[in-house]
Amino acid sequence: MPENKAPQKRLFSPFSIVIIIIFFSVSAFNLAAWYFPRLMDLYHMYIYAPSATFISRLPGLFPFSVGEIMIILAVIIVLAAAVLTAAGLIRKNKRLLTAVRRVIVVILIYVYFTETCNCFVLYHTTELTERLAHYAAPDGYSTEQVVELCRKMILDANELALVVNRDEEGNIILPDDLASAARDSFAALYEDIPELRGYCPPSKRLISSTLMTQLDLQGVYFPFALEGAYNAYVSPARTPTTTFHETAHIKGFIREDEATFISCAACLASDVPEIRYSGCIEAMNYLYGECRKYATEEQIYSLRCDLTHLVAQDNYFVSEEHMKQAEESVIPKEKVNAAGDAAMNTTLKVNGIKDGKNSYSRMVTLLLIYELRAG
């Protein structure tokens, strides 16, 4: 009788083949983004923008931050996986080890896929400075123009500070629906930035706002959840620009300088005084930062004299109470902040933003182009 041959063991299981195909496809897409920016523009406009408008409605159904909950669940799953892996090794249970390994692989491939499609490749679209170049002054902008635009923002903020809604203690009262306000404000930018069209999901208040305060962060974008969230302790004067900034990320504008510019420009175009006030303060802060680098001491002093006490009082990151709470946390604020800065710089540079966090100052160039547009 012929001998029964043992079935040959497959080199790769169907699960492994699917994972390998997804991994290399996503990697190829990531690589292509570096060499074909125009292709990324088409992806942004015709694939990412409509799909993000649809998908971002799902986390928008929940009153809490889905992205934050996903991170918490991921930490729990990793800890559980470590325990189960140890148990599987002790008991030599191959099925358990395989199941744990597959769960971890699925999570990693999901994160890689969503980070690539919803974040990494969008760093390689055409920059807004190039898209708005037809508005730019042919000879660039002088220090005097930066100073005068800063002064305009200060004076506008001074006026708005007197008309915004406040409670009995003087705190600014914001509109209840900032997402609808964002959609209305973004409409002013549709002609130049059509990707901003469509549904604007609400930004969620974070449970981990103390950690955000330690990191000196006002908001965060979760690509794996297509959701924006913000530090619940951020001052009311900075909340609108923060939520609009995260919405700009969801709309596919991943570069920090561009998201900040969009949030400022949208707020400045708003009919709501509290939102316009937030835009003035944000723009003022960035412009004043540039003035401190290049303007004369007399010009800087003049700007400071123009600023009213009320605006200065509203222009803070978080309250002293919340800052003290962050500083007294178990992990020192300085260490958390340093780690956060290192992570941010690494992320930006890995994705082609060579000057890292310094790219934020390029927002001033965009603001000058748009506010002083010559086209």
Q: Looking at the predicted structure, is the pLDDT value of residue 1 above 90?
A: no
Q: Which amino acid is at 126?
A: T
Q: Which residues of 275-311 are buried (b: 16+ CB within 10 A; e: fewer)?
A: bbbbbbbbbbebbbebbeeebeeebbeebeeebeeeb
Distance, in Å, from the CA atom of 37 to the CA atom of 201, rounded to the nearest integer, reads: 27
76 and 202, same structural domain? Answer: no
Q: Looking at the predicted structure, is the pLDDT value of residue 53 above 90?
A: yes
132 and 119, same structural domain? Answer: no
Q: Is residue 2 part of a domain?
A: no
Q: Looking at the predicted structure, is the pLDDT value of residue 213 above 70?
A: yes
Q: Write down the pLDDT at residue 360.
A: 45
Local structure of residue 318 (DSSP, 8 states):
B
174 and 49, same structural domain? Answer: no
Which of these three, 124, 148, 167, is where a domain ends?
124
What range defines the domain where residue 67 resides? 14-124
Q: Looking at the predicted structure, is the pLDDT value of residue 256 above 80?
A: yes
Which of these three, 83, 108, 124, is where a domain ends?
124
Q: Looking at the predicted structure, is the pLDDT value of residue 339 above 60?
A: no
Q: What is the pLDDT of residues 162-187, one digit of tens each?
A: 999 999 999 999 998 888 899 999 99
217 and 353, same structural domain? Answer: yes
Percent of all residues in the chain with a pLDDT value above 70, rounded to a whole number = 88
Q: How far apart are the two ends of the chain, measured CA to CA in Å?
A: 90
Q: Is residue 294 part of a domain?
A: yes
State the pairing for strand pair 227-230/204-205. parallel
* Counted domains in the chain: 2
Dihedral of the alpha carbons of 319, 231, 349, 31, in degrees to the nearest 10 = -170
Q: Token pair for residue 217?
A: 């962060």
45 and 33, same structural domain? Answer: yes
> Could you tell me the pTM of the whole model?
0.88
Distance, in Å, from the CA atom of 280 to the CA atom of 204, rounded to the nearest integer, reads: 23
Percent of all residues in the chain with a pLDDT value above 90, rounded to a whole number = 78
> To the nearest whole number, what is the mean pLDDT of the chain?
89
Q: Is residue 9 part of a domain?
A: no
135 and 101, same structural domain? Answer: no
Across residues 184-197, what is the average pLDDT?
94
Instruction: Single out the residue of 94, 232, 129, 98 nearest to residue 174, CA to CA.
Output: 232
Which of these three, 89, 124, 159, is where a domain ends?
124
Distance, in Å, from the CA atom of 266 to the CA atom of 273, rounded to the nearest integer, reads: 13
Q: Is residue 6 part of a domain?
A: no
Q: Is residue 3 part of a domain?
A: no
Dihedral of the alpha carbons of 156, 161, 164, 165, in degrees to the nearest 10 = 170
94 and 188, same structural domain? Answer: no
152 and 99, same structural domain? Answer: no
Predicted confidence band of residue 350 (pLDDT cuts 50, 70, 90): low
Q: Write down the pLDDT at residue 327.
A: 80
303 and 236, same structural domain? Answer: yes
Q: Is residue 265 part of a domain?
A: yes
Q: Is residue 4 part of a domain?
A: no
Q: Looking at the predicted structure, is the pLDDT value of residue 348 above 90?
A: no
161 and 18, same structural domain? Answer: no
Q: Is residue 320 part of a domain?
A: yes
Q: Write down the pLDDT at residue 5.
A: 60
Predicted confidence band of residue 61 (pLDDT cuts 50, 70, 90): very high
Cα-flanking dihedrals φ and ψ of residue 75, to 5°? -65, -45
Q: Write down the pLDDT at residue 65.
A: 96
Q: Write down the pLDDT at residue 346.
A: 54
Cα-flanking dihedrals φ and ψ of residue 85, to 5°? -65, -45
What DSSP letter does each residue of 86-138 carry, written as one string? HHHHHHT-HHHHHHHHHHHHHHHHHHHHHHHHHTGGGGGSPPHHHHTGGGS-T
Q: Write down the pLDDT at residue 334.
A: 55
Q: Write down the pLDDT at residue 314.
A: 96
Q: Coil, helix or strand for 21?
A: helix
351 and 220, same structural domain? Answer: yes
Place of tokens 């390029």: 362
Q: Are 375 and 191 in contact (CB under 8 A)?
A: no
Across residues 266-283, what is the average pLDDT?
96
350 and 233, same structural domain? Answer: yes
Q: Write down the pLDDT at residue 281.
A: 97
Number of neighbours of residue 237 by Cβ within 10 angstroms: 25
Q: What is the pLDDT of residues 63-121, one digit of tens each?
A: 999 999 999 999 999 999 999 999 999 999 999 999 999 999 999 999 999 999 999 99
